[in-house]
Structures are given as C-alpha cells and as structure tokens.
Structure 1
Amino acid sequence: MRRTARMLTGTALAVATAGLATAPAYGGSTSSLEVFPSTVVPGAGVTVNTAACGAEGSALGDASAVGAGTFTLAPSAHEHDAIGQFRVPPSAQPGTYEIVAKCSGGRQVTGDLIVNLTSTREQVQPRGRVNTGVGGALGPDPVRTAAGVAALAVAAAGGTWLLHRRARGDGI
C-alpha cells in the first residue's frame, strides 16, 4: 500500500513539475493585444497593451482600420507591458475593427475593437415615483385620503371608549 502511494505521489509531482517548466515566467498574456475599453463610441479614447514585446520592447500600433492611423506603444513598468493610446475618430462607423501592434523584434499581435453608435455606459436618470410603502400609500386621491383618516378616527374613538368602560369597571 505504501509503495503504491509513493509511486502515485512521485508521478503527480513529476507531472506538476513538467507543467511548471512549460509555463511562462510571468503572468501576462503574450499572445494578444488587449484593447480597453473593447467597446467604444466614435470620439472615445482607447488604450492598448501587450506583453508580447517583453520588458524592454516597444511597438508600433496600427488603428487605420478604424481610421485612427498609427500610434506607438512604449515600455511600461506594469507587468512588462508595452502600452499605447489612440482616439477613435468621430466619423467611425459601427462595427468590429482589428487593431495591430508590431513589436520592435518583429512579433505581431492583434486585438479587436467594437464601435457602437450608443454607449452602453450611459447613465439613466430615474423617472416617476418610488413606491417604498412609506407615506402616500393611498396616492394623491383626496377622497381615499379622507376615507383613510375617517377610518383611523373611528378606530381611535372606539379604542378610547373601550378603555374608558374598562376603567369604570363596566366590563367589555
């Protein structure tokens, strides 16, 4: 039994070590160009970054598919990324566009940018009443308000009358 457990443990350790040996040295993705925000409206600014160029690498970005032209990606201390920015032209049409970055070492990475005519981040202002159950439960109708006040007055008068009878000793 012990021998089987040792073999299984040794095999699991060997597999885990082999998996670690093939993993990249840092956590960033090296195969793509990250576009943030990935969905924009015409006229918005966009930031792109990639770890494909290495810690000291720079890149030349190409956003001409959306009409923004070329831009540069410079090395950054943040997770060894090369980072750059461009602005989507106000005349951009809705659709999905491929943004390309070519590292100084020759490696090329791509990412997608989606252009919409309306922003999904737009704030919506509340309209109308909020039904919280506190106050105004009968609504603005004066007839219903008067009926509610009358019902409360009858209940208060009846309660007072019953308490008065009990205090005199007449019983209920």
Structure 2
Amino acid sequence: MRRTARLLTGTALAVAAVAAVGAPAYGDDGGGDLEVSPSSVVPGGDVTVHTAACKDGGTAAGDASAVGAGEFTLGPGGDEQDANGRFRVPPSAQPGTYEIVATCAEGGRQVSGDLVVTLTAPREQVHPRGSVKTGVGGALGTDPVQTAAGVAALAVAAAGGTWLLHRRARGDGI
C-alpha cells in the first residue's frame, strides 16, 4: 500500500512540475511581438518592422530612439490587421543591441523587438572551392609519364615482395 501511495504521489508531483513549467507566466492574447528585419544591421542600414498585435486597422506609432532613429509610423500591411513600418539606422549608431518599441493606435498595446547594430555586414556563407594548398605534393600529377612511372614502380615493388614472401614460405630463405 505504501509503495502504491509513493508511486502515485511521485507521479502527481511530476505532472504538476511539467504543468507549471509548460504554462505561460503572462497573459498573452496571441498577437505576437514586433518582428525586426534584418535583426542585425550596420549603421546607415534600413530596417523593416512588422507586428500582428495591432488589430482593427493595423496602425501603430514606432519608437527607435534607443538606436537614434527617432519615431516612425507603422501602417496597414498586406493583411488589414498587420502593421508594417520602416526606419533607417543613423550612420553614427554604435554597436550593440537596441529595443525597438511600437504602440498600437487601437488599445494602446505595446510590443517590442531587438535590433543588433554591428560594424560588419553579415556575409553570405561561402562554400570552399578547389584544392587545399598544403605545400605537400600530390600523389598523381598531371604528367602522364610521371604517373605511368609511379604505377610501374609500385607494380615492381609488389611483385618483388610477393616473390620474397613465397621464397620464405618454401624455406629457401632470403
């Protein structure tokens, strides 16, 4: 009986722990945050922001004064309920992470997103091409005469080794 009670108590505690971890600690109505694109930009670059949080018309007042760009307007996008806007990061912006904020015109809901300012532009991934220059020559060159000589040398070495092993197996010695 004790064993069953412990098992049930342990199971109940595990379920309660999972439920507590999985449950959100805030009351979000599913509107979403402010999407900043690109998320990483160099000073002087253009940034586009988007949010689905502003219902009924999709307009909002944006604030990028943290990065020095000031205020901007978000208007209805492709979807009537979404709000989109643009601003330019000033050339004098210092590297760092900045919070961009938008306040919806209807209801006053505030959403935010992060913008990272870097001194180097994100580069596209470059795939390696060609051979590795290690300073050690390759086994096969482009000269067919040298290739044939190398193959012949290997064949002579293999034949000689086989002949020596055969003599040793017969007991003739070396």
If the length of structure 1 is used for normalisation, what is the TM-score? 0.58
- Percent identity of equivalent pairs: 60
- CA offset digits 1:45-72 (Å, max 9, x no partner): 1111111211413111111111111111
- CA offset digits 1:17-54 (Å, max 9, x no partner): xxxxxx96xxxx51421111112221221111111211
- CA offset digits 1:70-114 (Å, max 9, x no partner): 111001233721000111112211111011111112222111111
Corresponding residue SS for 1:111: strand
Letter of the 2:64 counterpart: A
CA distance in 2, matches of 1:44, 1:92: 10
Partner of 2:148: 149
Structure 1: tracts of 5 or more residues without a match: 1-22, 156-172
Distance change >3 Å, CA 44–CA 123, structure 1 → 2 = farther
CA RMSD of aligned residues (A): 3.3
1:3-152 alignment runs, 5 A limit:
29-78=30-79, 80-105=81-106, 106-122=108-124, 124=126, 126=128, 129=131, 137-138=138-139, 147-152=146-151
CA distance in 2, matches of 1:47, 1:111: 11
CA distance in 1, matches of 2:129, 2:120: 21
Structure 2: tracts of 5 or more residues without a match: 1-27, 156-174
Corresponding residue SS for 2:61: strand
Corresponding residue SS for 1:65: coil
Corresponding residue SS for 2:75: strand
Corresponding residue SS for 1:90: coil
CA distance in 2, matches of 1:139, 1:78: 62
Letter of the 1:150 counterpart: A
